[in-house]
Amino acid sequence: MRNTARVIFENETGHPLRIAYPSPALCSLVEYYFEIDLSHATAMQSMKGLPAVTTLLAFPLRPTAWTSVDDANGRVLRLQHSQFLGHLTHSYSSLYAPGTLIFFIKLKPGAAARLFRCPPAELENSQLPLPFLSRDTGLFKNTCLEEQLTAATHFADRVRHCEHALQLTLVELPDTDHRFDMVAHCLRKFESLQLKDEKGLQHLCGSLHVTYASLRRYFLSTLGVTPKFAQKTIRFKKALQEYRSCGYNFYYEDFGYTDFSHFAKDARALTGSSPLEL
């Protein structure tokens, strides 16, 4: 059966998502909170997750399972309990039934490895039961977060409970080092599209006074992916969002692509689909 899942961007309207951003104290840990609410839906909803260096904590608030499909190999999983969803090297599609209500915490790149005290490579493309993974961390040790999220009647209340739990956890996290800080600096450069191609990456290494081999080691130990892959996924998401708005008139060189076919090739490599299908 043809996969009809589509990418949903944060700034789109008309989608079943609620989004809230963290307090300043948690900006180093949390990208944002969001919720899929299909309380009033009458049909199944499908969404595609792009490859990314961020990770997710998913809390189903109703006893409704959802389906996760690995777009690379077609493997299908039925998920029902709280899950950790690791950083993705290729796209995944998810299918949600009417009545679904799931709360998510989208963690910043590298935050999951600090939070769960594990090598980031072990989190790649993972879908793990959250209580088992986090039983020794402050996120669940000191609070009844899952119960609080389920009992809360409003999205804002769930965000507040998460903020409280994460504030308690933050003080227990190991400190970052110069390698983590250097990786975070590089990601900010990638997000700003100041460095969007191979030459930009070479310039970045020069400005940081490190070789690419050293920077690659820093990325692998912090995120579990290489600088080239992180750069590729970030620019592709931004390019796809622009393409969604402008169609074939979007200016591919703004995103480091030599031509449109270069952009389409990245789409196929990362998602198995053409830009138009996403």
Position 136 scores a pLDDT of 54
Contact indicator for 35, 47 with CB cutoff of 8 Å: no
What's the predicted TM-score (pTM) here? 0.92
Contact indicator for 56, 107 with CB cutoff of 8 Å: yes
Closest CA relative to residue 102, chosen from 50, 171, 41: 41
What is 178-277's CATH number?
A: 1.10.10
- Do the domains 17-170 and 178-277 sit in the same CATH topology, yes or no? no
Residue 1 binned pLDDT confidence (cut-offs 50, 70, 90):
very low
Closest CA relative to residue 184, chosen from 209, 167, 203, 208: 208
Residue 277 binned pLDDT confidence (cut-offs 50, 70, 90):
very high
Distance of CA 94 to the CA centre of its chain: 14
Mean pLDDT on 22-40 = 95
- CA 89/CA 269 separation, integer angstroms: 10
The overall average pLDDT reported for the chain is 89
Q: Is pLDDT at 20 greater than 50 in this prediction? A: yes
Beta-sheet strands, E only, within the chain? 17-20, 30-37, 45-49, 55-60, 66-70, 76-79, 83-85, 92-96, 101-107, 127-129
Domain 17-170 has CATH 3.40.1710.10: no
pLDDT tens figures, 86-105: 999 999 999 999 999 999 99
- CA 123/CA 146 separation, integer angstroms: 21
Q: Is pLDDT at 114 greater than 90 in this prediction? A: no
pLDDT tens figures, 179-222: 999 999 999 999 987 767 777 888 889 999 999 999 999 999 99
- CA 255/CA 114 separation, integer angstroms: 31
Position 120 scores a pLDDT of 92
Q: Is pLDDT at 63 greater than 50 in this prediction? A: yes
Domain residue ranges of the chain, discontinuous segments joined by +: 17-170, 178-277
Q: Which two tokens stand for residue 99?
A: 């009545």
List own/partner pairs for 157-162 with CB under 8 A and 24 or more apart: 158/33, 158/35, 158/103, 159/20, 159/33, 162/33, 162/105
Any bridge partners for residue 59, and if so which? Answer: 103
